[in-house]
Homo-oligomer: A and B are copies of this chain.
Amino acid sequence: MTESKAVFVADLSAGDRIDDFFVLAEKSMAHKRDGNPFLNMTIADKSGRIKGVVWDDVPRIAAAAQTGDVVRVSATVGEYRGALQLVIKSVAAVADGKVAPDDFLPASGRDADQMFDRLKAAMDTLKNPYLQALLQALWDDPDLVDRFKRAPAAKKMHHAYIGGLMEHTLSMVLLADKIAGHYSGVNREVLMVGAVVHDIGKLRELSYRTCIDYTNEGRLLSHITIGIEMVSATIAAIDGFPTELADLIKHMIVSHHGSREFGSPEPPKTIEAVLLNYIDEIDSRVNAIREFMAADDADPSWTAYHRLLERQFFKGGPTTAGV
């Protein structure tokens, strides 16, 4: 059984004594004037992060845990140059599974199992036996399913929280179903399978045990490459999977960023791949703007400047327009 945290970073006040679980976000060794070493540490949970120092027992505590580990920290909360700072007495690594990981990372507000059930239900309407076999092979891997329910869709920008990938994937599948019904001649099944697998490489591109970051593999290969590895190997194990259908599904992964400059080795070359790229852009853009609007409260009408999208967004919007 996992233990829960009692107190979160955002709630700390000067004078508090704490003995609780946090992620060890950063650590570095420094030296005092007298030449003796001390440790700077930053610890974090889903509510934020705080700096601390270790004055005593430095070598043992330095060796107790690695960056990214969940640790039990005993400390007092002080102030230094106008900000709260911990004076840390002890740091102990915590066995995996001992704590609820959801205390350390922000999470989707929606239930992952329910989202997965809706996803499976939507995909059960597919008729092509090879595509069904491909999905079944994925669902038959319990580790993959577990990670799929938990993975974020990104480190920043959109759906950057536990369960974000499932939320993004499900939204895209449902939107794909609507758009496939709007235009005649679109292969609904290829489009929907494309929506399911397009970001599957993110299961290995990102680590999200205690904080969201890129893996070595992710930084070196990208989720598009990893997704191709995963789907290629799965398809190769299905007897008689038609070659062209395989190429079309892989093309959905390869081209879903829309152009080379955004990391797709080839641009979309089928109607379905063109649509998947737009559906991905719509869903990630809408989520990104909403999160940005929600996080920003300095001005009632306009958000701050969004560096990546290079504009401010209007929040006053339709409601205040008397609609």
In the complex the two chains form, is B298's CB within 8 Å of A244's CB? no
Query: Which of A28, A67, A274, A301 is the most central at the interface, judged by chain B CB atoms within 10 Å of its CB?
Result: A274
Q: Which residues of chain B are within 8 angstroms of A244 by Cβ–Cβ distance?
A: 216, 316, 320-322
Interface string of A240-252 (1 = CB under 8 A from B): 0011110110110
B225 adjacent to A254 (CB under 8 Å): yes
A220 to chain B minimum Cβ distance, whole angstroms, is 4
A245 to B319, CA, bound (A): 9
Answer yes or no: A189 CB below 8 A from chain B CBs: yes
Number of copies: 6
Structural contact, B242 and A321, CB atoms closer than 8 A: yes
**Is B301 a contact of A248 with CB atoms below 8 Å?**
no
Separation of A7 and B179 alpha carbons in the complex (Å)? 41
A274 to B285 CA separation, bound complex (whole angstroms)? 8
B residues near A262, Cβ cutoff 8 Å: 260
- Chain B residues contacting A160 (CB-CB under 8 Å) are none
Q: How far is the CA of A308 from the CA of B182 in the complex (A)?
A: 25
Q: Is the CB of B187 within 8 A of A182?
A: no
B residues near A183, Cβ cutoff 8 Å: 286
Please state if A290 and B265 are interface contacts (CB–CB under 8 Å). no
In the bound assembly, the distance between CA atoms of A264 and B322 in angstroms comes to 26
For the side of the interface on A, what is the size category?
Answer: 35 or more
Assess A282 versus B217: contact at CB under 8 Å? Given A185-B290, A229-B229, A271-B289: no
Known contacts A28-B298, A81-B82, A317 near B217 by CB under 8 Å: no
Tell whether, in the assembled complex, residue B242 and residue A225 are in contact, meaning their CB atoms are under 8 Å apart.
Answer: no
17 contacts between A and B (CB under 8 A): A28-B298, A130-B322, A179-B282, A189-B318, A189-B323, A220-B248, A220-B254, A221-B228, A222-B265, A225-B225, A225-B228, A229-B229, A263-B265, A264-B265, A269-B311, A274-B285, A274-B289
Q: Which residue numbers of A lie inside 8 Å of B, CB to CB?
A: 13-14, 28, 33, 67, 81-82, 128, 130-131, 171, 174-175, 178-179, 182-183, 185, 187, 189-190, 216-217, 219-222, 224-225, 228-229, 232-233, 236, 242-245, 247-248, 250-251, 254, 260-267, 269-272, 274-275, 278, 281-282, 285-286, 289-290, 298-299, 301-302, 309-314, 316-323
